[in-house]
Amino acid sequence: MAVPRLGLRAVRLSEASFARLLVAPAVLAIVAVVAVPLAYSLWLSFTDVNLLRTSGAAIDLFGMRLPLYRWVGLKNYLQVFSDPLYWDSLWRTLYFVGAFVIEATLVGLGVALVLNERFPGRPLMRSLLLVPWSLSRIVVGLLWIGILDFEFGAFNGYMQRLGLLTGSVAFFKDGFSALNVLVSVYMWNQAPFATLLFLAGMQSISEDLYAAAEVDGAGYWQRFRYVTLPALRPILFLVLVLCTVNGFLMLDLIYILTMGGPANETTTISWLGFQTSFAFFKFGPGTAILYTLTALCLLLTLLYHRLILARFEPEA
């Protein structure tokens, strides 16, 4: 078939090259907003940063001056690893993340099982479920101060009014108690999202599987154990990964509820990194601390993948 002759010289592209061309703008955007800041912050973790320094070598990026600070090699990382506060914060972070992931997953799954059943008011319940998740964490923190505060908290107030308490419960009386409050408040905020994911997963399970299990004489728990849970495996992976990453990064509730105290007993790695960067203006060690967190998140994601998804075969 004759091809009409165009004014422009025809450029022949292979299918792969054409695909690359189409994807290029998106890749460029991702490089600009994700890869460059990541690479720059990684660079910062190996340098001696002073934000106020205005002279010296720099890169000009879209009119913005990015100073290239003095390279100090692994000094920031060595300094971080030799600080006992870092290790204390790391163990505390692991406790916080572990407790939060378990609580959020169990509560999320439990509520999803309830909301998967048919009962009057279910649509309203499903809508209300999202309220805690949709609140800003600053608001969540203030809300829970309003509930748990020793002097002004609604909990102590109502308990005293009902005659169930004579004094007040001090939820923040020591570091361990305050840390557990942080876990529970964060769970309250994040579990609805886990519920939503589990619910979506449950609704995609074929009714035929349950019918077949019932014919085989399986009870509720057996159906849950042998039908629901295996089918939810990819969702469980997603929930675990999201909860783990969110748990590691949680900062705002600490800022509102405890500021890492008393005596650093609610200081996690993310709070330590934030403080080092933005309170002490030590962006080199601060980014080094936060990159160790990134490494941990990646490691745990790989672990979950191996444990949960490795043997999972998606349906054809």
Residues from 238 through 257 that contact other proteins (CB under 8 A): 255-257
Q: How far is the CB of 275 from other proteins (least distance, A)?
A: 7
Omega of the bond leading into 262 within 30 degrees of 0 (cis): yes
Distance CA 213, CA 207 (A): 10
Q: How far is the CB of 173 from other proteins (least distance, A)?
A: 4
Q: Which residues lie closer than 8 Å to 39 by C-beta, 6 or more apart?
A: none
Indicate the DSSP class of residue 307. I
Residues from 178 through 217 that contact other proteins (CB under 8 A): 178
Strand, helix or coil for residue 191: helix
Residue in 53, 122, 225, 306 binding other proteins, rule: CB under 8 A: 53
Q: Which residues lie closer than 8 Å to 127 by C-beta, 6 or more apart?
A: none
Task: Report phi then psi at 66, rounded to 5.
Answer: -105, 105
Site string for other proteins, 153-182 (x = CB under 8 A): --------------x--xxxxx---x----
Closest CB to other proteins among 270 and 282?
282
Work out whether 52 is an interface residue with other proteins (CB under 8 A).
Answer: yes
Distance CA 201, CA 107 (A): 16
Site string for other proteins, 264-283 (x = CB under 8 A): x-x--------x-xxxxxx-
- Identify whether the C-beta of residue 105 lies closer than 8 Å to the C-beta of residue 287: no
Work out whether 260 is an interface residue with other proteins (CB under 8 A).
Answer: yes
Residue in 262, 298, 299, 303 binding other proteins, rule: CB under 8 A: 262
Work out whether 84 is an interface residue with other proteins (CB under 8 A).
Answer: no
- Identify whether the C-beta of residue 273 lies closer than 8 Å to the C-beta of residue 289: yes
Site string for other proteins, 97-136 (x = CB under 8 A): ----------------------------------------
Work out whether 261 is an interface residue with other proteins (CB under 8 A).
Answer: yes
Write out the two tokens for 26.
């998106």
Distance CA 159, CA 261 (A): 27
Task: Give how many residues touch other proteins by CB under 8 A.
Answer: 37
Q: How far is the CB of 287 from other proteins (least distance, A)?
A: 14
CA atoms within a 13 Å half-sphere pointing along the CA-CB vector of 42: 8
List of residues contacting other proteins (CB under 8 A):
50-54, 64-65, 67, 85, 150-152, 167, 170-174, 178, 255-264, 266, 275, 277-282
